[in-house]
């Protein structure tokens, strides 16, 4: 039996962080109420109605032509607090196109949609906890949180274990991005080393010659070295 060790203060984002304005409305105003768990919590389906398709982890091959932008490979492992692989986890991602535009009705950023880029993908970790995606490097986008506010380029990740209640949500950033220092979403995490866990690592070994740059992003689901998560179901 494994023992779940508690996280370390300052390594996870607080629910309320006023410089990140949306948290003012999102954060609970009343004390939390703990709901009793039941067996149904463990039986809610995770994978939806459709099996994972051949191009679900390759966002450059989901439309008739290739999308615009810088092709990248993003790969890593999903690990538990002791460095053991989390096998069979559903890893989903969503992101903007190269111009910083989401394919979403509420995104009115004046950048062009790419007819060959949807911005969503999914895959399952293998027996070593590994996942891999091919995609396009997302662009920065303005978000009106404060004056001249721009989100650094990032990719949203969701990780499911074997039931719906295990969902974790986070964001991956790119090394050397000057917007990181100005981003309240990332700066809400007090601990500098924990913030760095959200910044992917350029990996020449993962980089494919004359094809795509490689970035490595490991995800630790719990414990003192856990990846910062913005949402825990």
Catalytic residue positions, numbered: 102, 141, 151, 154, 156
CA separation for the pair 63, 225 (Å, rounded): 38
Residue 12 CA from chain centroid, whole number: 14
CA separation for the pair 24, 7 (Å, rounded): 24
**Residue at token pair 């982890």:** 57
CA-CA distances (angstroms) from residue 48 to 7, 44, 122, 130, 169?
Answer: 31, 10, 12, 21, 18
Please name every residue paired with 131 in a beta bridge, in sequence order, or none if there are none.
76
CA separation for the pair 186, 81 (Å, rounded): 22
Cβ-proximal residues to 149 (8 Å cutoff; 6+ apart), any chain: 142, 143, 182
CA separation for the pair 143, 24 (Å, rounded): 16
């Amino acid at each position: 039996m494994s023992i779940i060790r508690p996280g370390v203060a300052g390594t996870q984002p607080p629910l309320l962080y006023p410089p990140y304005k949306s948290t003012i409305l999102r954060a609970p105003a009343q004390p939390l109420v703990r709901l009793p768990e039941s067996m149904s919590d463990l039986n809610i389906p995770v994978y939806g109605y459709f099996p994972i398709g051949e191009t679900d982890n390759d966002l450059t091959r989901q439309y008739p032509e290739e999308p615009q932008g810088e092709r990248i490979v993003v790969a890593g492992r999903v690990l538990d607090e002791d460095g053991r692989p989390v096998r069979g986890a559903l890893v989903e991602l969503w992101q903007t196109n190269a111009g910083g535009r989401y394919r979403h009705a509420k995104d009115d950023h004046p950048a062009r949609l790419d007819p060959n880029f949807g911005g969503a993908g999914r895959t399952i970790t293998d027996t070593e906890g590994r996942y891999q995606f091919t995609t396009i490097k997302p662009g920065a986008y303005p978000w009106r949180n404060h004056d001249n506010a721009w989100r650094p380029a990032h990719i949203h990740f969701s990780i499911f274990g074997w039931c719906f209640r295990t969902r974790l949500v986070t964001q991956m950033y790119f090394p050397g991005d000057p917007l990181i220092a100005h981003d309240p979403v990332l700066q809400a995490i007090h601990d500098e080393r924990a913030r760095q866990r959200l910044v992917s690592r350029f990996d020449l070994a993962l980089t494919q010659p004359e094809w795509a740059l490689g970035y490595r992003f490991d995800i630790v689901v719990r414990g003192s070295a856990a990846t910062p998560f913005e949402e825990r179901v």
